[in-house]
Copies of this chain bind each other. A is one copy, B any other.
């Protein structure tokens, strides 16, 4: 038997967590004081503190000086959204993934377009369009702009069969990203390229990424409705707000 290799602070955390999730402790209830827990578990205060700090960071409890620690109320304003790598996703289903480049140009930002001007940062833009294809059927149209100011190497990325997103992920570290998810009716070009009827619904994902304050890329992906959807899961209360 390999029994207890579980750290004590982790065990304390799990104990309290299960009390909360089982309902024995309800939101608002006070958790035993640190000195009570250190007596209960026969350990030093730092050990208890580590356990409670972890629960606090996870958003399971709120800690107030002089008052104690309390089970926090689930607020549910944030969930984890999976942003799948399309290639991995498709091949995970046992289908054949392919990326087909449609156009590729280097051009300056359109002056009236704030998005492009901000992205370019005074430099040129690499403008790439392509199709994501599963088992020979195009399911997504991607229009991407890359700041050559931020990623000069991108101009050499002439790998025809590689999606620019995958290339970027491997070559350019990013620090921040933002996704916008919406639905629109397919315009003429999109409908034609994705072989769908005009005005058919599309799921649109727009993604912007930064490295520090520098804009890296802007991409808009149009998915044929019904062939693709996003899933966000959430377990055990909300995450803490990032600083």
Query: Does residue A111 face the partner (Cβ distance < 8 Å to B)?
Result: no
| Bound-state Cα–Cα, A59 to B237, Å | 19
A185 interface residue per 8 A CB criterion: yes
| A19 touches B (CB below 8 Å) | no
Query: How many chain copies?
Result: 2
Q: Mark A178-207, 1 if CB is under 8 A from B, else 0.
A: 111111110000000000000111111000
Cβ contacts under 8 Å, A81 to chain B: 78-81, 232
- Indicate whether A33 reaches chain B with its CB closer than 8 angstroms: no
Number of interface residues of A (CB under 8 A): 57
**CB neighbors of B among A195-230 (8 A):** 199-204, 211-212, 223, 225-226, 228-230
Check A231 against B180 for contact (C-beta < 8 Å): yes
A14, closest chain B residue (CB): B243
A42 within 8 A of B: no
- Given A183-B202, A183-B203, A223-B183, answer yes or no on A177-B233 (Cβ-Cβ < 8 Å): yes
Q: Nearest B residue to A89 by beta-carbon distance?
A: B77
* Interface pair B225/A185, CB less than 8 Å apart: yes
Of listed A79, A84, A203, A211, residue having the most chain B CB within 10 A: A79
Taking CB atoms, residues of chain B closer than 8 Å to A26 are 173
CB distance from A191 to the nearest CB of B (A): 12
Q: Which 8 A-B pairs have the closest CB atoms?
A: A183-B183, A81-B81, A182-B229, A201-B201, A183-B203, A179-B232, A181-B230, A183-B201
